[in-house]
Structure 1
Amino acid sequence: MKKQTILLIDDDPDDAEIFSEAIKSLNQDIEIEIYNNSLTALDNLKSSATLPDFIFLDMQMPHLNGNQFLDEIANTHNLANITVVIYSSYSQASLYELVISTRKVILLTKPNSMGELIQNLKTIL
């Protein structure tokens, strides 16, 4: 099985740590890269020779918010087909309102427990 790569963009270090621990607990061959700045993540994606299989994106980011990030990757040819999972503390309904329904994204509200996060990741990955 091919190693999956995940890019997490989240400026909350606690949320990033919990997410990373949840990924490790899956016991799958998954490589994770974490950015706390969406603009830096975008710049690195644009210049990278290898792209992630999934981008998990927090909507509330400094420098470049989630919608702006989504617009940028949608308009960048080699990034447009990466699966994006909106990973935010907003409710599903609020996320839907924030993200135009025609965008190809998966919506995931940050869960209240590690077990719930792990189960959601198993479903997505």
Structure 2
Amino acid sequence: MLNQMSILFIEDDLVETMKMHRTLEKLELNHTIHEAKNGEQALAFLKSTDRFPDIILLDLNMPKINGIEFLKILKDDDKIKYIPTIVLTTSHNRKDVLECYKVGIAGYIIKPLNYKDYVYKIDKLLAYWSVNELIKG
């Protein structure tokens, strides 16, 4: 049985945000999605909430604080550094992949252009994390 999760979705592209919501509806998943348009908004959310998300889905290419800068701030904070963070990006850049794993991500997924492939990847991603023993709090 899959557990319902709280997800912080950090994405500045409105189309990508709509695609994520459409995918969750299609998959009939009732996860709670908290949205942030950039790293600054995401950090403000994490500092203002009493209940941290179970996982973070993070785009890399964002204004203000990009994904890698956000990761470094996240992993430097003892209260939030253990939230599994999965990069969900269009970047195939090997340097980005290596830098993200070096900082301490839980996964790196390249967004496919084909919607059917996107739904498949999101389904597998969320199924995997919803059966994990996640840190609550």
TM-score of the aligned structures, taking structure 2 as reference length: 0.81
- What letter corresponds to residue 71 of structure 1 in structure 2? K
Q: CA deviation at 1:92?
A: 6.5
Contact 2:72 2:103 in 1 (8 A): no
Regions of 4+ moved over 3 Å = 92-95
Q: Distance in 1 between matches of 2:93 and 2:84?
A: 18
Contact 2:88 2:109 in 1 (8 A): yes
Which residue pairs with 2:44 in the alignment? 43
Structure 1 residue 102: Cα displacement: 5.4
Percent of counterpart pairs with the same letter? Answer: 22
1: CA distance between counterparts of 2:9 and 2:103?
Answer: 22
Structure 1: runs of 5+ lacking an equivalent = none
Whether the 8 Å contact between 1:95 and 1:107 is mirrored in structure 2 is: no
Q: Which amino acid aligns with 1:22?
A: T
What is the aligned length? 125
Preserved CA contact (<8 Å) 2:10 2:42: yes
Do the aligned residues in 2 keep the contact of 1:92 with 1:107 (CA within 8 Å)?
Answer: no
What's the counterpart of residue 125 of structure 2? 124
2:57 corresponds to: 56
Amino acid at match of 1:62: P
- Output the aligned Cα RMSD: 1.8
Deviation at 1:97, TM superposition (A): 3.6
Q: Which amino acid aligns with 1:65?
A: N
- Alignment partner, residue 132 of structure 2: none
Question: Which residue of structure 1 aligns with residue 69 of structure 2?
Answer: 68
- Distance in 2, matches of 1:60 and 1:98, equals 14
Aligned to 2:10: 9
- For 2:3 and 2:20, locate their aligned partners in 1 and report how far apart those are by CA, in whole Å: 21
Q: Residues 57 and 87 of structure 2 are in contact (CA less than 8 Å); yes or no, is this contact kept in structure 1?
A: yes
Instruction: Return the structure number with greater strand share.
Output: 1
